[in-house]
Amino acid sequence: MPYTRRQVLVGAAAVSLASLFKVDVVAQPKPTRIILLGTKGGPSVGKSGRSNPATLILINDIPYLIDCGYGVSRQLISAGVSLDRVRYIFITHHHLDHDLEYGTLFYNAWVTGRPIHVDAYGPVGLQKMTQDFFSYAKFDIETRMVDEGRPDPRQMISVHEFEQAGLVMQYDDVKVTSCRVRHPPITQSYAYRFDARDRSVAISGDTAYAPELAEFAKGADVLVHEVMYLPAIEKLIKQLPNATRLREHLMAAHTLPEDVGRMAARAEVKTLVLSHLVPGDDPSITDEQWSEGVREYFKGRVVVGKDLMEI
Ligand SMILES: [Zn+2]
Ligand SMILES: [Zn+2]
């Protein structure tokens, strides 16, 4: 029996509704996730179980990696992110606890054998550091290109370095901006802010108390901020021959819990996450000790960061 005009129209409407629904399901953005990969400040490799600094933000399931401390490749895998998925890297500054595994992570992504492309962003010096890594790895890379038929990894990374704060990158899913912070004697030290459609996240990098960071992080859903706990530091460094110098550096370049609390309150963020803990290898410091100074000034949610914790 031939279809009536009405049946045809109803059928067409059903088909187009189904295809609309399908498109909608496919295009639905995934919620933004934050995973702390390494929460220990400083370059030493300890036995606390805390890895060196790195933070992962998954925006619509695309990884944005902030800093590449030692162990970052392993931590990414532990967080369920295969290394060929590494796509965007942001370096806050060139203290090596933040980029010791930068080149190695890229290499590890390359040797997966799957197609990769990495865009790396960071302060001036990143281009040279990338080239220097390729010099370090030249023998292996060129051997494998000839012997194993691999593509040239030097074509698979784009480096974007900057000397001033401002817009870092922007596209549909996210806008990334930077703010220069106070980390003497390093002048090129930056915080980053990620404004995704569903969530905004600011990452302090390494800094002493910096009012401009409060403006930069204003109203963010999450602020991941460094912190140091002075009583434990004093206990730790008193035996060292350079104790006085080291204490001066730490006080000038990092933030005590009370000041982290002032920062979070001034920035009016919803959640404050403590990461880059200094000292990061002293298991006797309780979560309460890390956060009690913070809570004197900040009444929002405080999370004491631990490796592989998701916020
Ligand atoms: Zn650091
Ligand atoms: Zn630093």
Centre of ligand 2 to C-alpha 131, Å, is 22
Q: What share of the chain is helix, strand, coil (3-state, %, to 5)?
A: 35, 25, 40
Give yes or no for residue 28 having a pLDDT over 70: yes
- Number of residues that this document lists for the chain: 311
Q: pLDDT tens, 275-301?
A: 999 999 888 999 999 999 999 999 999
Give yes or no for residue 24 having a pLDDT over 60: no
Centre of ligand 2 to C-alpha 96, Å, is 8
**Residue 47 confidence (pLDDT):** 81
Which two three-digit tokens encode residue 189? 């030290």
**Residue 297 confidence (pLDDT):** 98
Query: How far from the centroid of its chain's Cα atoms is residue 243's Cα?
Result: 30
Cα distances from 102 to residues 60, 83, 132, 290, in angstroms, run: 23, 13, 11, 29
Distance, CA of 105 to CA of 17 (rounded, Å): 45
Centre of ligand 1 to C-alpha 279, Å, is 11
Handedness of CA 187, 98, 299, 249 (dihedral sign): negative
Centre of ligand 2 to C-alpha 13, Å, is 60
Residue type, 110: W
On whether the CB atoms of residues 174 and 59 are closer than 8 A, the answer is: yes
Centre of ligand 1 to C-alpha 298, Å, is 23
**Residue 19 confidence (pLDDT):** 53
* pTM greater than 0.95 (yes/no): no
Mean pLDDT, the chain, whole residue set = 92
> Once rounded to an integer, what is the mean pLDDT over residues 70-86?
98
Element holding 177 (H helix, E strand) = strand 174-180
Residue environment code for 54-93, b if the CB has 16+ CB neighbours within 10 A, otherwise e: bbbbbbeeebbbbbbbbbbbbbbeebebebebbebbbbbb
Looking at 90-99, 198-207, 241-250, which range is the least confident one? 241-250
Q: pLDDT tens, 124-175?
A: 999 999 999 999 999 999 999 999 999 999 999 999 999 999 999 999 999 9
Give yes or no for residue 94 having a pLDDT over 60: yes
Q: Which residues pair with 113 in a beta bridge?
A: none
Centre of ligand 1 to C-alpha 48, Å, is 17
Minimum-distance ligand to the CA of 41? 1
On whether the CB atoms of residues 99 and 67 are closer than 8 A, the answer is: yes
**Residue 238 confidence (pLDDT):** 85
**Residue 131 confidence (pLDDT):** 98
Three-class secondary structure assignment of 155-175: HCEEEEEECCCEEEEEECCEE
Q: pLDDT tens, 105-115?
A: 999 999 999 99
